[in-house]
């Protein structure tokens, strides 16, 4: 059953950039082998992630995510059965949220700073779609897979 899960979490205080990059590379390989696609938005405080795939694969990954010490305060914002993926091309797209235009945040999430834990599921999804479009629009090649 194809499904979509969106959650927000708080970045662990001691998470280093090189650790995040290693985690992302591992996640992309792992997702590709499990039929999971999605997008991870990040700033120094928060994560917002959407994962799409079979309900079984998403449940297993979410269970692992809840135990992962690299973040805390994990909140599920949305879980839904879907007919088609919003992010079919990325084993895990990555968007540094503090590099996105303020106007994009303002359009989808009127908040003074990136605070995904305060969003409802629909706003979170709309914001992630906007991030995905911004990533796809970049002229410089980004190593996304
Ligand atoms: C913010 C965040 C996002 C993550 N995203 C993914 C992901 O998309 N796919 C994945 O396999 N692991 C992801 N992880 C890592 C998982 O929590 C977990 O460590 C990993 O799936 C376990 O892999 P292993 O069984 O190969 O050790 C993420 C971790 C964090 C902190």
Tokens of 56: 């079984």
DSSP string, 125-139: HHHHHHHHHHHHH-S
From 107, 109, 112, 111, select the one nearest 123 (Cα to Cα): 109
Task: Measure 77 CA to ligand 1 centroid, in angstroms.
Answer: 18
Q: Please list the pLDDT of the chain residue by residue as tens digits (145 residues).
A: 999 999 999 999 999 989 999 999 999 999 999 999 999 999 889 999 999 999 999 999 999 999 999 999 999 999 999 999 999 999 999 988 766 666 677 777 677 778 899 999 999 999 999 888 888 766 444 444 4
- Which domains are present in the chain? 2-137 (3.30.70.100)
pLDDT of residue 141: 46
What does each C-alpha distance from 17 to 39, 44, 94 come to in angstroms? 18, 10, 13
pLDDT of residue 69: 96
Q: Is the dihedral of CA 42, 70, 13, 112 positive or negative?
A: positive
pLDDT of residue 100: 67
Q: Which of 65, 95, 96, 144 to mutate to test the pocket of ligand 1 (most atoms within 8 A of CB)?
A: 65
pLDDT of residue 142: 47
**Contact predicate 32/87, CB 8 Å:** no
From 140, 30, 45, 25, select the one nearest 94 (Cα to Cα): 25
């Amino acid at each position: 059953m194809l499904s979509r899960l969106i959650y927000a979490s708080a970045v662990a205080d001691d998470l280093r950039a090189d650790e995040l990059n290693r985690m992302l590379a591992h996640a992309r390989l792992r997702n590709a082998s499990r039929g999971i696609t999605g997008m991870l938005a990040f700033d120094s405080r928060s994560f917002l992630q959407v994962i799409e795939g079979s309900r079984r694969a998403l449940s297993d990954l979410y269970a692992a995510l809840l135990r992962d010490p690299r973040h805390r305060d994990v909140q599920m914002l949305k879980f839904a059965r879907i007919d088609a993926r919003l992010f079919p091309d990325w084993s895990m797209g990555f968007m540094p949220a503090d590099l996105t235009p303020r106007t994009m945040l303002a359009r989808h999430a009127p908040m003074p700073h990136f605070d995904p834990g305060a969003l409802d599921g629909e706003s979170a999804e709309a914001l992630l779609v906007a991030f995905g479009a911004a990533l796809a629009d970049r002229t410089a090649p980004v190593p996304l897979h």
